[in-house]
Amino acid sequence: MAFETASAAATLPSRTAETAGTGTPLVDPFGRAITYLRVSVTDRCDLRCVYCMSEHMTFLPKADILTLEELDRLCAAFVARGTRKLRITGGEPLVRRGIMTLFRSLSRHIETGALDELTVTTNGSQLDKYAGELAACGVRRINVSLDTLDPQKFRDITRWGDLGQVQAGITAAQRAGIAVKINAVGLKGVNEDELGDLVAWAHGEGMDLTIIEVMPLGDIGESRLDQYLPLSMVRAKLAERFTLTESDYRTGGPARYVRVAETGGRLGFITPLTHNFCESCNRVRLTCTGTLFMCLGQEDAADLRAALRASPDDSLLHATLDEAIGRKPKGHDFVIDRRKQRPAVGRHMSVTGG
Ligand SMILES: Nc1nc2c(ncn2[C@@H]2O[C@H](COP(=O)(O)OP(=O)(O)OP(=O)(O)O)[C@@H](O)[C@H]2O)c(=O)[nH]1
Ligand SMILES: C[S@@+](CC[C@H](N)C(=O)[O-])C[C@H]1O[C@@H](n2cnc3c(N)ncnc32)[C@H](O)[C@@H]1O
Ligand code: SF4
Ligand code: SF4
Q: For every residue of 156-223, which 3-state class applies, written as one string?
A: HHHCCCCHHHHHHHHHHHHHCCCEEEEEEEEECCCCCCCHHHHHHHHHHCCCEEEEEECCCECCCCCC
Q: What are 23-78's pLDDT values in tens digits?
A: 799 999 999 999 999 999 999 999 999 999 998 999 999 999 999 999 999 999 99
Looking at the predicted structure, is the pLDDT value of residue 227 above 60?
yes
Q: Between β-strands 85-89 and 36-40, what pairing exists: parallel, antiparallel or unpaired?
A: parallel
Q: Is residue 19 part of a domain?
A: no
Would 29 be classed as within a structural domain? yes
* pLDDT band at residue 7 using 50, 70 and 90 as cut-offs: very low
In a domain, residue 11? The reply is no
Q: Relative to the CA of 89, which ligand 2 atom is closest?
A: 4
- Report how far apart, in Å, the C-alpha atoms of 166 and of each of 146, 246, 275, 342 are: 8, 30, 30, 33
- The one-letter code for the residue type at 43 is D
How far does residue 330's CA lie from ligand 4's centre (Å)?
A: 8
Does residue 272 have its Cβ closer than 6 Å to ligand 1?
yes
Q: Is the pLDDT of residue 15 over 60?
A: no
Give the closest residue (by CA) to ligand 4 atom 4: 278
Does 321 have pLDDT greater than 80?
Answer: yes
User: For the chain, first and last CA: distance in Å?
Assistant: 29
d(CA 297, CA 65): 22
Task: Please compute the mean of the pLDDT values over residues 237-242 and round it to a whole number.
Answer: 98
342 vs 319: CA distance, rounded Å: 34
281 is in an annotated binding site: yes
Task: Indicate the DSSP class of residue 52.
Answer: T
Of 106, 38, 118, 23, the closest CA to residue 69 belongs to: 106
Q: Ligand 3 centre from 53 Cα, in Å? A: 7
Mean pLDDT (the chain) is: 92
188, 229 Cβ separation under 8 angstroms: yes
pLDDT of residue 12: 40
CA of 22 to the centre of ligand 3 (A): 35
* pLDDT band (50, 70, 90) for residue 152: very high
pLDDT the model gives residue 341: 57
Number of independent structural domains in the chain: 1
Question: Which pLDDT value is given to residue 196?
Answer: 98
> Is 7 contained in some domain?
no
> Does 13 have pLDDT greater than 60?
no
77-98 pLDDT tens trace = 999 999 999 999 999 999 999 9
Output the pLDDT for position 23. 78
Does residue 108 lie within any of the structural domains? yes
CB 210 within 8 A of CB 270: yes
Please determine, for residue 171, whether its predicted confidence score (pLDDT) is greater than 60. Answer: yes
- Model confidence at 338, in pLDDT bands (50, 70, 90)? low
Alpha carbons 278 and 163: distance in angstroms, whole number: 33
342 band by pLDDT with thresholds 50, 70 and 90: low
- Domain range for residue 187? 25-352
Q: What is the pLDDT of residues 115-150, one digit of tens each?
A: 999 999 999 999 999 999 999 999 999 999 999 999
Give CA angle at 286 (210, 2), nearest 5°: 105
Q: Residue 5 — very low, low, confident or very high, per pLDDT cuts 50/70/90?
A: very low
CATH number for the domain spanning 340: value is 3.20.20.70
Residue 345: band (very low, low, confident or very high) from pLDDT cuts 50, 70, 90: confident
On the CB side of 305, CA atoms within 13 Å amount to 20
Q: Compute the distance from residue 210 Cα to the ligand 3 centre, in Å.
A: 16
Please answer whether residues 210 and 238 qualify as being in contact, where contact means their C-beta atoms are separated by less than 8 angstroms. Answer: no
Specify if 14 maps to a domain.
no
Tell whether 234 is covered by a domain: yes
Q: What is the model's pLDDT at position 3?
A: 63
Task: Give the pTM.
Answer: 0.94
Model confidence pLDDT, tens digit, residues 270-295: 999 988 899 999 999 999 999 999 99
At 176-195, the pLDDT tens digits run 999 999 999 999 999 999 99
Residue 14 pLDDT > 90, yes or no? no
Nearest CA to ligand 2 atom 15: 52
Torsion of CA 247, 251, 253, 259, to 10 degrees: -20
Asked if residue 251 is part of any domain, the answer here is yes
